[in-house]
Amino acid sequence: MSRPPKDSRWFAELEMQVQFFDLDPMEIVWHGRYVKYLEVVRCALLDKIGYNYPAMKESGYAWPVIDMHLRYVSPATFGQKLKLRADIVEWESRLKIDYLITDAESGKRLNRASTTQVAVHIASKEMCFVSPPVLFEKLGIEAE
């Protein structure tokens, strides 16, 4: 398993504020909204490497999420400012991204998550067992 160096450019961070429509009847962020938060920061990361969903489609590959894990540590509440972070941690045969959601002011961890995506050749609908060269190109590394 390959891991980028600690000073890698393969991460994205952003801040957002919890909105009322994200709350459940207990007045905390509904657990399903965290999936949206992961998507928001994942898109920021994919934009950063120049390979967000339109570029994926143009390259001939779809990258469906095939696995997702979320660990809830502490609830987020209305108006709270969150820091969302996404890091690419694997890329040879799949695209694995780790996430961290923290309170933007205190740094307290609220949620840790990961997603795994695989390349699917759009024309044949076949899953690739090795990531296509375009991903390595976007990451600025040579295919192994």
pLDDT in tens, 53-111: 999 999 999 999 999 999 999 999 999 999 999 999 999 999 999 999 999 999 999 99
Is 56 contained in some domain? yes
Q: State the amino acid at position 120 in one-letter form.
A: V
Record the pTM: 0.91
Residue 4 placed within a domain: no
What percentage of the chain has pLDDT greater than the value 90?
Answer: 91
Distance from chain centroid for Cα 8: 15
Q: How many domains are contained in the chain?
A: 1
Assess contact for 83 and 102: CB atoms under 8 A: yes
Q: 120: domain range? A: 11-139
Q: Does residue 36 form part of some domain?
A: yes
Question: Could you give the strand order of the β-sheet that contains 126-127, starting from the edge strand earlier in sequence?
Answer: 61-62, 120-121, 126-127
Give yes or no for a contact between 91 and 136, defined as CB atoms under 8 angstroms apart.
yes
CATH number at residue 86: 3.10.129.10
Give the CA distances from residue 10 to residues 49, 93, 116, in Å, rounded to whole numbers and listed in that order: 7, 17, 15
Residue 41 lies in a domain: yes
